[in-house]
Amino acid sequence: MRLTVLGCRAGMPADGQASSGYLLETGTSRLLLDCGPGIATALSSVTRPAGLDGIVISHFHSDHCYDLLPIGKSLLSGFAHEPGARADKLAETGFTPVPLFVPRGSGDLFARWAGLFPVRTFPLLDKAFEVAFDVHEYEPGDSCSVGDIGLTMHEMRHAIPNCGIRVESAAATFAYTGDTGMTPALFDLAADVDVLLAEATLSAPDTGDHGHLSGFDAGVVAAKAGAGRLVLTHFTSTDETWLEGLRSAAADTFDGPIELAAPGVRIDIGA
């Protein structure tokens, strides 16, 4: 299994870096975890959207899902300009929608979202969420599979519903927190994984209502859960001193390898 960081910024893109988005690959499957602003562009430098076997969205804050619409339109763009292109005829071209796993309650959001940017002359492009994706709504505790990997959704603590995603294959285990404050559920999510990808938005622990981790918090989770390696992400700055402070704080409690996410970084997971 291999993780490629496409974007790792908290909030909106900045300093030439995209928001949250991570490509996870096995020998046969490609899975996109979150796709905030800038991820559609970053993904295009690695693979075509049609090359994805699935997309999983941890929660519906814009820095984790905003580029779903351009990715959906990209999937349809090769067909939309054909004379008389129709959604019910796409299957005859060999087109296969990409499975999209999202928190329950997406239907109204997707309808309003797509309706903001109509393309009257190419109506197929207005059906990104209806046609480009095979939408699966999940709830905390649900499990599913994409190709040769299994996914389990763990409810985290955030301002809106967010699930951390545990990924398992025959060769490796991986966990991604999405956005969350400290919660006992983190230890189940990350139990004995080879790699834990944990948000580290804050420089100091915070018990507020919004729900974010600090570098120290991420280290606590990795240590108590028995993770093999910790990767910190979801940064508000590229300042090297600040980033090293996050790493140092995590190392106060976790004595395993600690890495800082950065666009283009690739991490091999497991055997």
Domain chopping of the chain, boundaries: 2-268
What's the rounded mean pLDDT across residues 255-265?
98
Token pair 């497991």: residue: 270
pLDDT tens for each residue of 162-180: 999 999 999 999 999 999 9
Which one is predicted more confidently, 3 or 83?
Answer: 3
Given pLDDT bands bounded at 50, 70 and 90, which one contains residue 22?
very high
Mean pLDDT of the chain: 92
* Residue type present at position 103: P
pLDDT tens for each residue of 39-87: 999 999 999 998 999 999 999 999 999 999 999 989 987 665 554 555 5
Is residue 228 within 8 Å of 254, Cβ to Cβ?
Answer: no
Residue 242 is encoded by which pair of tokens?
A: 């600040």
> Does position 144 have pLDDT exceeding 90, yes or no?
yes
Rounded distance between C-alpha atoms, residue 80 and residue 125, angstroms: 6
Rounded distance between C-alpha atoms, residue 114 and residue 239, angstroms: 36
DSSP state of 115: H
> Does position 123 have pLDDT exceeding 80, yes or no?
no
pLDDT tens for each residue of 76-120: 876 655 545 555 566 666 678 999 999 998 888 888 888 888 877
pTM above 0.85, yes or no: yes
Rounded distance between C-alpha atoms, residue 210 and residue 234, angstroms: 15
Ranges of beta strands (E only) in 200-237 are 229-233
Is residue 184 within 8 Å of 196, Cβ to Cβ?
Answer: no
> Does position 121 have pLDDT exceeding 80, yes or no?
no
The residues, any chain, with a CB within 8 Å of residue 199's CB and separated by 6 or more, are 10, 177, 178, 179, 180, 212, 213, 218, 232, 233, 234
> Does position 271 have pLDDT exceeding 80, yes or no?
no
Query: What does the buried/exposed string (b/e) look like for 32-68 if buried means 16 or more CB atoms within 10 Å of the residue's CB?
Result: bbbbbbbbbebbeeeeebeebbbbbbbbbbebbbbbb
pLDDT tens for each residue of 248-258: 999 999 999 99
In CATH terms, the superfamily for domain 2-268 is: Ribonuclease Z/Hydroxyacylglutathione hydrolase-like (3.60.15.10)
